[in-house]
Structure 1
Amino acid sequence: MNLKITLFITILFLCSSCWQGKQKENNAAMHTTYTNPILDAGAEPWAILHNGKYYYTQGSENKIVIWETSDITDLRNATQKTVWTPTEKSNSEHLWAPEIHHIDNKWYIYYTADDGNMDNHQIYVIENEAANPFEGEFIMKGRVSTDKDNNWAIHASTFEHNGERYMIWCGWQKRRITNEKQCIYIAKMKNPWTLSTERILISQPEYEWERQWVNPDGTKTTYPIYVNEAPQYFFSKNKEKVLIYYSASGSWTPYYCVGLLTADAKSDLTDPASWKKNPLPVIQQVPEKSIHGPGGISFVPSPDRKEWYLLYHARRVPNDGPGGVDSRSPRLHKIEWDEEGIPILNNLTTEGTPLPLMSGTQ
């Protein structure tokens, strides 16, 4: 064989071997790490781990979609299904912040919607008796009546503590006129769709970081809107404190952030005096990392439940501008704990940074 041809074939073989080796390294890295965002678009992310599967959902305008996967960092390849399309005008538009919960062996999805007029937002609950939420059928259980005046109500979440079920949500004290103030409420529940006590106000926007509604470029809503919304239950590592995280300031601004309320686990959670508000946000924008408007949070365990993760949305730009496409996207952040057992959440990583897969991921 010609020496030049032999040399060419040898070089070609070596290059091919190097490429294959590099490809194997890349494939191995792909199976041991993930990067944020975990979906290209989406806000108000929520997920639950049940029987080895994550069921994920996020805000939508006219339907509820859930994703099923054993690896929540691989949502792009997860199975999707539309499980609810409203049939009544009252709850047919602006479907915000759906949450899927497994309660007493049934599936419940809480969501917020209106009839086209955002001033008419209310909380609705649908139920599915199937073992798997991808099977069976969701049926409407009804609107959750939060107070006698049917005030605006959004972002419902539910949790069980010391044998009692609670609902937390965002609502108006009274119908807006010249400005809007969104507050956090709590009440006990008689069943997954009915409150058993009066609503109790536990937080309202009071600090400057809870009252931002004007964007850096000057764009703003037509009137001031001060925001406490999207409450989420969690707990300290030793379970001695109940934690309620909430989002603050306008979600359309880069100033959207996360605040924290704490209560002793043995206290009366329906007593406003039980709750203490952190004077500073626990999560806020990090412009040097191109993380703007972080919020809409929830919490998920790793597949083996040895780790906990923060699920949140953020933008890579300060704001989308008038009429812009919503650029929020969902991200995951592993939780570390401080010396008091409170989650450390202010060390968010830059988009695209390789991060280790969750413990127990197959």
Structure 2
Amino acid sequence: MTKLTEIQYNNPIVYQRADPWIYKHTDGYYYFTGSVPGYQKIEVRRARTLNDLERGEKAFVWHAHPVGPLSSLIWAPEIHFIHGKWYIYFAAAQYDYPKDGIFQHRMYVLECADKDPLTGKWVEKGQVKTVQESFSLDATVFELNDKLYYVWAQKEPAIPGNSNLYLSEMENPWTLKGKQLLLTIPEYEWEKKGFLVNEGPAVLIRNGKVFITYSASATDENYCMGMLWADINSDLLDGYSWSKSSKPVFCSAPENQQYGPGHNSFTVSEDGNYDVLIYHARPYTEIEGDPLNNPDRHARAQVFTWDEKGFPVFGKPIKNHATF
């Protein structure tokens, strides 16, 4: 077995890709996507190793429409393989930012039935409809006990703040069904710096528990990660099944020149022996203009460990170690 100290990833693993999502498929490839600067297209990359993603195969598989609800601010795509087909979940808006305001997004799904998602045909399956028609984004999906679940961030007009997290079961990969549970709202000070935000959920199922990490606060150096968890055999749509950390589980490390870590995903090491945290961070705090328009949120990877209670221990963002 590879020693933990021997695992060293090039960091950043991919430059200028915020909201990084990695899925390791049965074909041995890591499939990567993330927000592309300019926010007008969706890119998918693949490589046999995490270190090869910066220079790996890549293709732009979808472009924003010229006009309409899919024409602007394409954010946070995720690629999944569900029931033999590829799916990409993403958020899009139709308004000119900043003239008409930024918080106008809705969530959408693409489907590809071909074997190769880089060259295959992607079909628009439409908007994922929630109970409320309001600002929504950052959807992820996971399967458990033969059920498909959807976790996302959304603004609820009756609740102060910018976004909360919600959970629902799915009828199929583009349609919700049944109860839509409010999972968490920004309540702690570390979730309310700059903006009141809970967003960017990612799911990790280990040690008899379902863990959901998420990101909080503004997208500058205050951005950080929180965590929810529930027993694997509990009713996930019962709010009492879930617990929430009162402290962030991953945050800026000025001593390592890494700021605003978050919007993460999870994968495993090349040998399959270790869990790997994928996230974005900036190497500085002096951001000119709007932080969302700054391209220097880079995708990063680092191995994490587990404590004696079976909870993940993420540590802190490590220093850059690029060898390209």
TM-score, length basis structure 2: 0.90
2:4 equivalent in structure 1: none
Alignment of 1:263-278 (within 5 A): 263-278=230-245
8 Å contact kept, 1:228–1:248: yes
Q: Does 1:342 align with 2:311?
A: yes
1:158 equivalent in structure 2: 141
1:168 equivalent in structure 2: 151
Aligned partner of 2:156: which letter? Q
Q: Does 1:58 align with 2:25?
A: no
2:47 equivalent in structure 1: 69
8 Å contact kept, 1:320–1:327: no
TM-aligned CA deviation for residue 334 of structure 1: 0.5
CA distance in 2, matches of 1:263, 1:302: 25
The RMSD of aligned alpha carbons is 1.9
TM-score, length basis structure 1: 0.81
Alignment of 1:183-262 (within 5 A): 183-213=164-194, 225-236=195-206, 238=207, 240-251=208-219, 253-262=220-229
SS at match of 1:268: coil
CA distance in 2, matches of 1:319, 1:114: 28
Alignment of 1:63-212 (within 5 A): 63-87=41-65, 89-116=68-95, 117=100, 118-147=102-131, 149-174=132-157, 180-212=161-193
TM-aligned CA deviation for residue 162 of structure 1: 1.3
Segments of 5+ residues of structure 2 without an aligned counterpart are: 1-6
8 Å contact kept, 2:9–2:301: no
Higher helix share: 1
Alignment of 1:323-342 (within 5 A): 323=290, 325-342=294-311
Aligned partner of 2:197: which letter? V
CA distance in 2, matches of 1:73, 1:201: 37
Residue 15 of structure 2, aligned match among 22, 37, 40: 40
8 Å contact kept, 2:112–2:121: yes
TM-aligned CA deviation for residue 139 of structure 1: 0.6
SS at match of 1:311: strand
8 Å contact kept, 2:179–2:237: no
8 Å contact kept, 2:200–2:263: yes
Residue 284 of structure 2, aligned match among 298, 317, 340: 317
CA offsets per residue over residues 61-112 of structure 1, 9 Å max, x none? 0110011111121222101100011335211211111000000110000000
CA distance in 1, matches of 2:81, 2:252: 33
SS at match of 2:165: strand
> How many pairs align?
307
8 Å contact kept, 2:12–2:322: no
Segments of 5+ residues of structure 1 without an aligned counterpart are: 1-31, 214-224, 355-362
Q: Which runs of 4+ in 1 moved over 6 A?
A: none
